[in-house]
Amino acid sequence: MADALHWRRVAATLSDPERRLLYARVVVGERSDPVRADALDSAGRRRLAALVDAGLVLVHDGVVSAADPFTALLQAAPAQRVTGPERFLTGGRLSVLPRTQRDRQQVFAWLADRAMQDAEVLDEKELTRRLSALADDPVAVRRYLVDAGVLHRDPDGRNYRQGVR
């Protein structure tokens, strides 16, 4: 019930005006005029099922009562905001370069650290293969890393190693 995205299900369920009216009937009439599940038409039963699935109401012995999903939702820890170079990744991969030079340098350093060890020397094919697991355009990223000084290419262009940062 208190999973990170449960609030979306509650909001989506209550976004429908007819479900919202049924939920209001349940909450307002809970003590004086309770809603009975068997008294609802087929559309009402579908709306009731959506409210039950979202954790907004409970049905016990045919009587519908309000549940309290809001306390758990309000007590749930907020989703952690991604910081650092990871904020530019989608599914762990770089698809678009950051706009600022500072952010690009951070992303380039992150990519280089994941593609190769500090003292490791890689040929072009192996470096491109490793970068392909991290970026949508590994050839362009390889060039960017060299241009930014994060990686150094041997004069003959065959091997790459990490640059001094």
The structural domains of the chain, with segments of one domain joined by +, span 6-75, 84-162
Question: Which amino acid makes up residue 123?
Answer: D
Out of 1.10.3470, 2.60.120, 1.10.10, 1.10.600, select the CATH number for domain 6-75. 1.10.10
Please list, in sequence order, all residues whose beta carbon lies within 8 angstroms of the beta carbon of residue 137, skipping any fewer than 6 positions away.
none
CA 6 to centroid of chain Cα atoms: 13
Instruction: Please tell me the pTM assigned to this model.
Output: 0.53
pLDDT for the residue 164? 62
pLDDT along the chain (165 residues), means of 10: 67 94 91 91 95 93 90 76 85 88 93 91 95 94 94 92 75
pLDDT for the residue 59? 95
